[in-house]
Amino acid sequence: MEKIRIGIVGYGNLGRGVELAVAQTKDMTVDAVFSRRAPETIKTFGAPVYSIDEAINKQDDLDVLILCGGSANDLPQQTPYFAQYFNVVDSFDTHAKIPEHFQAVEEQAKKHQKVAIFSVGWDPGLFSLNRLYSSAILPDGDDYTFWGKGVSQGHSDAIRRIEGVQDARQYTIPVESAIEAVRRGERPTFTSREKHLRECFVVAKEGADKAKIEQTIKTMPNYFDEYDTTVHFISQEELNEKHSGIPHGGFVIRSGNTGKAGENHHIMEYSLKLDSNPEFTASVLVAYARAAYKMAQIRHYGAKTVFDIPPAMLSPKSGEELRKELL
Amino acid sequence: MEKIRIGIVGYGNLGRGVELAVAQTKDMTVDAVFSRRAPETIKTFGAPVYSIDEAINKQDDLDVLILCGGSANDLPQQTPYFAQYFNVVDSFDTHAKIPEHFQAVEEQAKKHQKVAIFSVGWDPGLFSLNRLYSSAILPDGDDYTFWGKGVSQGHSDAIRRIEGVQDARQYTIPVESAIEAVRRGERPTFTSREKHLRECFVVAKEGADKAKIEQTIKTMPNYFDEYDTTVHFISQEELNEKHSGIPHGGFVIRSGNTGKAGENHHIMEYSLKLDSNPEFTASVLVAYARAAYKMAQIRHYGAKTVFDIPPAMLSPKSGEELRKELL
């Protein structure tokens, strides 16, 4: 069997995760890593590295390109651009800009007869799928999404930008009593504060005003002011030792009712507990790269989301095997 | 907007659940209930009732037929038969006979250009989907399916067939410590006994030998002999009062590893807690009836499972709404 030939664009935590995830499959291979950095400075687990400028010369050598750049600055340009030349998968996660991203990607993918699956990962991605399945099945119901316990890169970065801060790590923590209330079927309405806590581990620069740093964090608009936030000042050594992992996870819960008068109650719950957010996200991207390859084979071109992909396309197994082993 | 016109074949707990579930939608209507019983003896929530023999005369009046008969005796004949005339959805759940059922249904549906989605429900169904998604994403991992706490009709029936038993209700209960071991990432191997308990509430006939009944239950091959089983003898009144519901549920957990040497561990967990097994299963069938209608519109004919259906087809929302609201 010929393997599906994958190219990786961008070789940070996510790109490395993709290379490792492909190595766990039997039907795929990473044939190229593309980077803006000088190729000779990048050490992969074995895949050859090229300058990103060479990517479009490799059209005939790769089946799917997995785009591992950031949603803020890379993917809005890269995904429509590469969709001219390759089937692509990205993890675009700026919720508010998804309609705009779809338009840009759809135009190029349709025009150039490519498959482009965007916003793949766990949220957006697997969590979105669960919101869709459960709301279609229980229309009289409410969705609840909780994130954590996990590291929020965006919130950690926001703290690092504060004057006097040397390093920081922020954990988003779901409020256990809120999850329990949802599981009991109460269908409550929550404020941001009632759903999540924020816990910050901060390394202050020598001589910095810690009280002021703490105050600045706790009152930061959008990021922290609507939450109960705790701040711990620790040493760089302790941060490195105890907080170097990138765990994450969360819960999607549908609470809904059926019956003549809604007398029967049902809870559908999906949860993830992840040691490594980037490695898990990479594993989702790789499964959808397989789907992109299969969609291209049947000429279902255009911009797609997880909502559009028949689940069977994610698996290396045949329809017959799936019906026999997993149904 | 024209509503999707649904017919229901078989009007037991599941058929009633389908009528109620359709009433919760805005885009569907139940235009016919078909039964082998005399139509005048059946009281629906409003849908007209016809003899099952009249069904094939209603081909032009119905978009999808939801088949609510049993997997043992009804569906093996009914699904291929009605797939000659209608788009159909069934809840066929005899795992071992799925390949055979697929062949029979596929032949008719393909030949007559109909869509037939079979084995829809929560297991097979939503649990199967979760086994597929999670195994495609974490190939280095193990799946664990736990059922309950819930009423097993098959086990309850088996007890009722024992001499001296007047009535019975059997609960399947997952072993909490086994679930916890899986959640800790231990990837254990379990015997049947280690995963589930069986709890039986039995009404004995007057003068019956209770010790013998208990012994017969606990040693019954396949049903009980491989499990730790407890038997409680109670009155018919208590059974009616405390055990008349049909709750069920369960857990599908994937425990898997990623990284260079499997050093990062991930848990994907899906669970259902259902007050009414038939009403929830009916809600799943109704969402897939919507998908059957959409698949027929784009002429994707043949026998399908939940693995083959793009998730978006389950929802009444447009692609644009889904991307904006749920992604």
pLDDT in tens, A242-288: 999 999 999 999 999 999 999 999 999 999 999 999 999 999 999 99
Chain B residue numbers touching A95 (CB-CB < 8 A): 327
Q: Which residues pair with B145 in a beta bridge?
A: B252
User: Are A20 and B279 inside 8 Å of each other by CB?
Assistant: no
Tell me the pLDDT of chain A averaged across its residues. Answer: 97
Residue B28, pLDDT > 90, answer yes
CA distance B117 to chain A (A): 13
Q: What is d(CA B82, CA B8) in angstroms, rounded to the nearest whole number? A: 12
User: Are B266 and A260 inside 8 Å of each other by CB?
Assistant: no
pLDDT, tens digit (0-9, with 9 covering 90-100), for B53-100: 999 999 999 999 999 999 999 999 999 999 999 999 999 999 899 999
Asked if B94 contacts B124 with a C-beta cutoff of 8 angstroms, the reply is: no
Quick one: pLDDT at residue A50? 98
User: Are A264 and B279 inside 8 Å of each other by CB?
Assistant: yes
Residue B45, pLDDT > 90, answer yes
User: Are B323 and A98 inside 8 Å of each other by CB?
Assistant: yes
> Per residue, what are the HEC states of chain B?
CCCEEEEEECCCHHHHHHHHHHHCCCCEEEEEEEECCCHHHCCCCCCCEEEHHHHHHHHHHCCEEEECCCCCCCHHHHHHHHCCCCEEEECCCCHHHHHHHHHHHHHHHHHCCCEEECCCCECCEHHHHHHHHHHHHCCCEEEEEEECCEECHHHHHHHHCCCCEEEEEEEEEECHHHHHHHHCCCCCCCCHHHHEEEEEEEEECCCCCHHHHHHHHHCCCCCCCCCEEEEEECCHHHHHHHCCCECEEEEEEEEEEECCCCCEEEEEEEEEEECEHHHHHHHHHHHHHHHHHHHHHCCCCEEECHHHCCHHHHCCCCHHHHHHHCC
pLDDT, tens digit (0-9, with 9 covering 90-100), for A44-84: 999 999 999 999 999 999 999 999 999 999 999 999 999 99
Q: What is d(CA A204, CA A249) in angstroms, rounded to the nearest whole number? A: 28
Asked if A232 contacts A258 with a C-beta cutoff of 8 angstroms, the reply is: no
User: Are A133 and B20 inside 8 Å of each other by CB?
Assistant: no
pLDDT, tens digit (0-9, with 9 covering 90-100), for A91-147: 999 989 999 999 999 999 999 999 999 999 999 999 999 999 999 999 999 999 999
User: Are B264 and A279 inside 8 Å of each other by CB?
Assistant: yes
For B311, which of A129, A279, A287 is closest by C-beta distance?
Answer: A129
Closest CA in chain B for residue A123: B327
User: Are A270 and B270 inside 8 Å of each other by CB?
Assistant: yes
Chain B residue numbers touching A271 (CB-CB < 8 A): 267-269
Confidence class of residue A1 from pLDDT cuts 50, 70 and 90?
Answer: confident
- Three-state DSSP at A42 gives coil
Chain A residue numbers touching B283 (CB-CB < 8 A): 137-138, 258
Confidence class of residue B1 from pLDDT cuts 50, 70 and 90?
Answer: confident
What percent of chain A clears pLDDT 90, i.e. is strictly above it? 97
Q: What is d(CA B183, CA A167) in angstroms, rounded to the nearest whole number? A: 32
Chain B residue numbers touching A28 (CB-CB < 8 A): none
Q: Which residues pair with A116 in a beta bridge?
A: A88, A303
